[in-house]
Amino acid sequence: NAGVTQTPKFRILKIGQSMTLQCAQDMNHNYMYWYRQDPGMGLKLIYYSVGAGITDKGEVPNGYNVSRSTTEDFPLRLELAAPSQTSVYFCASGLTGELFFGEGSRLTVL
């Protein structure tokens, strides 16, 4: 099993550009989460999903969109990148609250 795979690992965006962070898991987990972590800070929940076709907002959803068309994939979309979205993004999956995290995607918006 590959676990939770995030791509890309690093990305630099210009202000106003759009991009999608990919997250895939091969453990057949129903629950999937997206977090962001700013330098020196804790994790902030952006969006989560309890199963295919179901998504819900977390603490900081503004500026992001998600979809969950399959159990395996949970992409995070940034429509108009802003410098405030410079962060490390972590995707996680689990059957319950025991989550498995990806290695993170480091995004810089200039």
Partner 1 sequence: DAKTTQPTSMDCAEGRAANLPCNHSTISGNEYVYWYRQIHSQGPQYIIHGLKNNETNEMASLIITEDRKSSTLILPHATLRDTAVYYCTGDKLIFGQGTTLQVKP
Task: Write out the residues near partner 1 by the rule CB under 8 A.
Answer: 4, 33, 35, 41-45, 48, 58-59, 88, 90, 92, 97-104
Strands 87-94, 76-78: pairing kind = unpaired
Kindly tell me which of 13 and 32 has the beta carbon lying closer to partner 1.
32
Kindly tell me which of 90 and 109 has the beta carbon lying closer to partner 1.
90
**What's the full length of the chain, in residues?**
110
Q: How far apart are CA 49 and CA 52, in angstroms?
A: 7
CB of residue 20 vs partner 1: minimum separation in angstroms? 19
CB of residue 64 vs partner 1: minimum separation in angstroms? 16
Q: How far is CA 41 from the centre of its chain?
A: 17
Kindly tell me which of 17 and 61 has the beta carbon lying closer to partner 1.
61
Q: Which two tokens stand for residue 43?
A: 């994790």
CB of residue 72 vs partner 1: minimum separation in angstroms? 18
Residue 62 exposed, middle or buried by CB count within 10 Å (0-12, 13-18, 19+): exposed
